[in-house]
Structure 1
Amino acid sequence: MSLINTTGLFGMLYQLQLTPTAIDVLSVMVKHQDAGGNVGMKQAEIDEILGVGQASMSRAMALLVDRGIVLRSGGGRGHRYALNPAIAGYESQHDLQKEMDRQLALGGPPPIMVPGYAKRPPKPGKGGLQSVA
């Protein structure tokens, strides 16, 4: 089944500062998602596909959750995972629009957290780039 999604998130992965393992985990989740973004896999099942080990898997999943790309529900060993509705795949444009309308009525989809600068960007006019005629 081919799903459509709302955003060019994958074109901006570098801005999210994800580890290679987190990118691999996200790729598996995108491939195995149901329409609407639910991922019917546990961390151990994703690790079986990737073979990265429990500790690396946990760190990668925590990073994806911290960035808001992956949503986690449930507790203990019973966590359930879903992709953020803003990046999830949908069966049709109608389904996508219906979910975005629902999310907007709730205040918008959960934010995707892009890390800020490690240090301040340079001030305009203080060195940096010069225009060339």
Structure 2
Amino acid sequence: MPLSPPTLQCLPPHQPCNASLPTNPVMPLSPPTLQCLSPHQPSNASLPTNPAMPLSPPTLQCLPPHQPCNVSLPTNPAMPPSPPTLQCLPPNQPCNASLPTNPVMPPSQPTLQCLSPHQPCNASLPTRPSSPATL
């Protein structure tokens, strides 16, 4: 497999395998071309493995070609992991970002007030318990 070593460009052990970030400014398309070898083979096959650093190969573990190298970090800035988590927008913006916003019903947007980011966006439930106390 002579084409595998040159295509396999894993970052050093002290740096994460960020496919989204360009490893070289001259080759911005290199990250998506980053294809690590099988799990049973070391990621840095082209680099010499030093016996003084046996923890380096297992620390650098790149995922299969069909999955991004940095699962924890957003692979594409256009699709961050926040939207699926239902992140509520600030009070001045509509709360129902996932639902289609109709310009015919503008008062419904300010009426929806999302709770803190760590709490779910319960639009049906009252955001403040001051309503029953006022009655």
Question: TM-score, with normalisation over the residues of structure 2?
Answer: 0.27
Which protein is richer in helix relative to its size? Answer: 1
Greater gyration radius: 2
Q: Name the structure where strand makes up a greater proportion of residues.
A: 1
